[in-house]
Structure 1
Amino acid sequence: MAGNQNSGRRKTPAALHLINGNPSKLPASQLLGAGAKGAVPASALPECPTFLTAPAKAEWKRIIGDLALMGNVARVDRAELAVYCQAYADWKFFREKIKKAQEDSGYVETTPSGYKQISAWMQNANRAEERMHKAGASFGMNPSARAAHDWRAPQGELFATEERDARDRFFD
């Protein structure tokens, strides 16, 4: 069988395609046109959900500025970003519990039948870490996700502005 729509690499969103310098040299009309797949959402920042815990809200505030600078967050990304922030808060909570219980049973517990197993705190921390890693990769929040894309700063303005023209006239 030759494959199906799930075969091969995932399609790159138009915004990331443009950030990477349009490596396939697709015309802008095809990337940003009305019929283009992966339409680019408005670049307004999403609001922090009120249901997040305090540590999750703190993580939201910590990362939202950097995500805005990278240009890969929009209002439609609110839920995915909330998943990342809450997973981070959960992971932090479980890691603090492990640190507190490290002398007793931070990493390993003994079952009633006498077997050793990974502690419940550690299992929950690992699950939260997996959720955090998965959701964070959507925003380029780990080295391998950033390596998959060229997160260069935007190229700059295409046409001169009045301020630049004035500067060039007087300081050239």
Structure 2
Amino acid sequence: MTRDEMTELPSEWEGRGKWVLWIAGVLSILLGIGALIYPFAASIGFEIAFGVVLLATGLVEIFRGFQLRRFARIFWNIAFGLIAAVTGGVLLFFPLEGVMTLTAILAGFFFAGGIMKIVSAFSLYPRMGWGWMMWSALVSVTIGILMFMGLPGSAFWAIGILIGVDLVFLGVAQIMIGSALGQLEEAHD
């Protein structure tokens, strides 16, 4: 890829791409700050949205299962659909328990991911960068342990804080990309 190709704007972005990214970035940052200020509300909101998605997915899969002609496919589609729909329904009817369960799963994810990163860091040793991987691994393991040991209290803040931090970083990235697009637009004019 040449330098000109790397700095060429996609045609649909010309003139408006910068502003779309800036608006999306500012909204992401504001939502992220909101989630950081009200982490429990963000956690419940995420849990309810996840429940709705699972319930809808389950219902679609059940419907699709009945549309299939082969028995094996019908069984697996309907089985998956039932599991997804029931899980979504449980999350919707028992939101506090759902947040607790999702927090425990997230704690396990951080812990297991951290262990895998430790293995990866040792496989990189003594190459450059292995220490950063080990640092990342220790942070992940620590977050997982703290979230799990903090249950049930950590369920009231963990998911909301993580969503808030993610949204703030996403917003900053969108603004930076929008700024870069603005500079490219000026350079092309």
TM range (shorter): under 0.3
Q: Which has the higher contact order (CA 8 A, sep 6+)?
A: 2
Which TM-score applies when normalising by structure 2? 0.24
